[in-house]
Amino acid sequence: MKYWKKLAAKDLDERISLALGENIDYKQKISLGLPASRLDPKVFHDDAAFLKDTPLLRCYVQNPNHIGCHTFGNSESYFRGTQEIERETIELLSVDLLKAEENSCDGYIAAGGTEANIQAAWIYRNYFIENHNAQNNEIALLASTDTHYSVAKAANLLGMQWYAVPVADDTRTIITAELNRVINHAREEGIKYFIVIANMGSTIFGSIDDPDLYARYLEQNGVVFRIHADGAFGGFIYPISNRESNVHFGNPNISSITLDAHKMLQAPYGTGIFMIRKGYMQYVLTKEAQYVSGMDITLSGSRSGTNAVAVWMILQTYGPYGWLEKINKLLYRTAWCCDELDKAGIKYYRDPHMNIIAISAKHIPPEHAIKYGLVPDTHDNSPSWYKIVVMDHVEMEHLDVFISSLRETREEAVTG
């Protein structure tokens, strides 16, 4: 690992304090033009004694605005200290987690995975229009039926068609014959350019799409495409748990990746991450944002620099080996639960490198789903699947109680 290190609390505090010292201090510097300030001191007391021991809360109080993309061009100098921490975070994740070459990726801390996925679609749409003279109705999104609903949002917002590729019910893998059929159907409807959103941990199943499968069939059909990997859930676990993974920047077929720190990393909500190979961010440069240094280049515009600091703190607190140990603990609990489901004869789907278990709804009485907080694949109709996500708060005891309850229900049904 080049950038990902384990740091002591004292080192974290010193680094964040240094960064905040490089940001604007509204108390010490006259600043008449910024439409911003620290958090309101009448509500958020910036002289509270406990703040000296909590660098992240000090950052919240100072309220840095990270508008723009700090790996690309200029940025607002008022917040250069915490912007540098965000740049470090993007480099750490792209290089040490996702196998990119050094200084080869741009990126920023987004409001979540939904924004990051839409950012990717926005960039590639504009790229096709500017570089290939494409018409909007010639560009389409391509994703599996298990994909996140942000793909539907992106299609709606950007005025593009979304083509869904069916997956096998038992393996959740893309059906190759269907992929070929969908591509040909799209071409017949005039589509010449494809924006692929490949799952790195789908929402309900935790399933993984093979980006090389998409690439192979699109190349065979002679169309232009770019592939974005949606690792909003799996991005902080799958590249570590599966050493044979091909869902990373070391794979030339992948141009951009989404992560969500507010899921596996347990960062504050509103902390997604968007990363893309250099050479693409400029396609969404908003030239009308002339009053912003470097102009804006993100979907969200103004955003909290504190969330970037939170991601950096979590990563550096664990270090790569501490994070590996945490992931392995969750995978062990997940595997134990699956073994117990096997013994009970209960149908489920689980990728062996992920901590999501999707259980067939026919085995789950509705009252059990409510009691144990299971999430269905649909709230509108009769669900086909309920999922368990083995997060940090899900203990072995919780899983044992759940499995025992299922066994008792099944035994009662048999004995009548």
pLDDT score of 414 more than 60: no
Going edge to edge, which strands form the sheet with 193-199?
A: 105-110, 272-277, 254-260, 224-231, 193-199, 139-144, 161-165
Q: What is the pTM of this model?
A: 0.95
307 and 356 share one domain: no
pLDDT score of 416 more than 60: no
List pLDDT tens digits, range 151-160.
999 999 999 9
Q: How many domains does the chain have?
A: 2
End-to-end CA distance of the chain, in Å?
A: 59
Interatomic CA distance for residues 334 and 281, integer angstroms: 38
pLDDT bucket at 253, cuts 50 / 70 / 90: very high
Residues in Cβ contact with 117 at an 8 Å cutoff, skipping those fewer than 6 apart: 148, 150, 151, 154, 197, 228, 230, 232, 258
| Per-residue pLDDT at 409 | 80
Better pLDDT: 42 or 163: 163
Q: What is the CATH number of the domain that holds 347?
A: 3.90.1150.10
pLDDT score of 95 more than 60: yes
Q: Select from 289, 317, 345 the last residue of a domain.
A: 317
Residue 407 · residue 344 · CB < 8 Å: yes
List pLDDT tens digits, range 180-227.
999 999 999 999 999 999 999 999 999 999 999 999 999 999 999 999
Residue 274 · residue 299 · CB < 8 Å: no
Rounded to 10 degrees, the C-alpha dihedral 259/263/264/268 comes to 100
92 and 124 share one domain: yes
Residue 340 · residue 403 · CB < 8 Å: yes
Q: Is residue 13 part of a domain?
A: no
Q: Which residue has the tokens 């406990």?
A: 50
Residue 81 · residue 22 · CB < 8 Å: yes
pLDDT bucket at 381, cuts 50 / 70 / 90: confident
356 and 307 share one domain: no
Measured in residues, the chain has a length of 416
221 and 354 share one domain: no
Residue 228 · residue 117 · CB < 8 Å: yes
383 and 403 share one domain: yes
Interatomic CA distance for residues 45 and 148, integer angstroms: 40
Mean pLDDT of 44-63: 88
Distances (CA, A) of 174 to 124, 141, 253, 279: 23, 16, 17, 30
Q: Is residue 10 part of a domain?
A: no
List pLDDT tens digits, range 321-351.
999 999 999 999 999 999 999 999 999 999 9
* Helical axes 305-343 vs 396-415, angle rounded to 10°: 40
**φ, ψ at 59 (rounded to 5°):** -65, -45
- Token pair in block for residue 373: 């907080």
pLDDT bucket at 47, cuts 50 / 70 / 90: confident
143 and 258 share one domain: yes
pLDDT bucket at 293, cuts 50 / 70 / 90: low
Distances (CA, A) of 321 to 6, 94, 224, 313, 379: 8, 17, 40, 15, 39
| Per-residue pLDDT at 76 | 83
Mean pLDDT of 115-132: 98
Looking at the chain, the number of H-run helices and the number of E-run strands are: 11, 11
295 and 335 share one domain: no
What one-character-per-residue DSSP string does 325-378 give?
HHHHHHHHHHHHHHHHHHHTT--EE--TTSSEEEEEGGGS-HHHHHHTT-EES-
Q: Select from 285, 317, 349 the last residue of a domain.
A: 317
Distances (CA, A) of 101 to 98, 106, 226, 377: 9, 12, 19, 38
Quote the Cα angle for 359-363-366, to 5°. Answer: 95
170 and 210 share one domain: yes
Q: Is residue 125 part of a domain?
A: yes
282 and 210 share one domain: yes
Q: Is residue 91 part of a domain?
A: yes
Q: Is residue 71 part of a domain?
A: no
List pLDDT tens digits, range 180-192.
999 999 999 999 9
- Token pair in block for residue 218: 């699109």
Report the DSSP beta bridge partners of residue 405: none
Q: What is the CATH number of the domain that holds 202?
A: 3.40.640.10
Q: Select from 279, 294, 317 the last residue of a domain.
A: 317
pLDDT bucket at 408, cuts 50 / 70 / 90: confident
313 and 353 share one domain: no
Q: Is residue 5 part of a domain?
A: no
212 and 276 share one domain: yes
Residue 391 · residue 330 · CB < 8 Å: yes
Q: Is residue 251 part of a domain?
A: yes
Side-chain-side CA neighbours of residue 221 (13 Å): 23
| Amino acid residing at 5 | K
| Per-residue pLDDT at 290 | 62
- Token pair in block for residue 98: 């996702």
Residue-averaged pLDDT of the chain: 94
94 and 234 share one domain: yes
Supply the range of the domain harboring residue 356: 320-415
Better pLDDT: 124 or 415: 124
Q: Is residue 44 part of a domain?
A: no
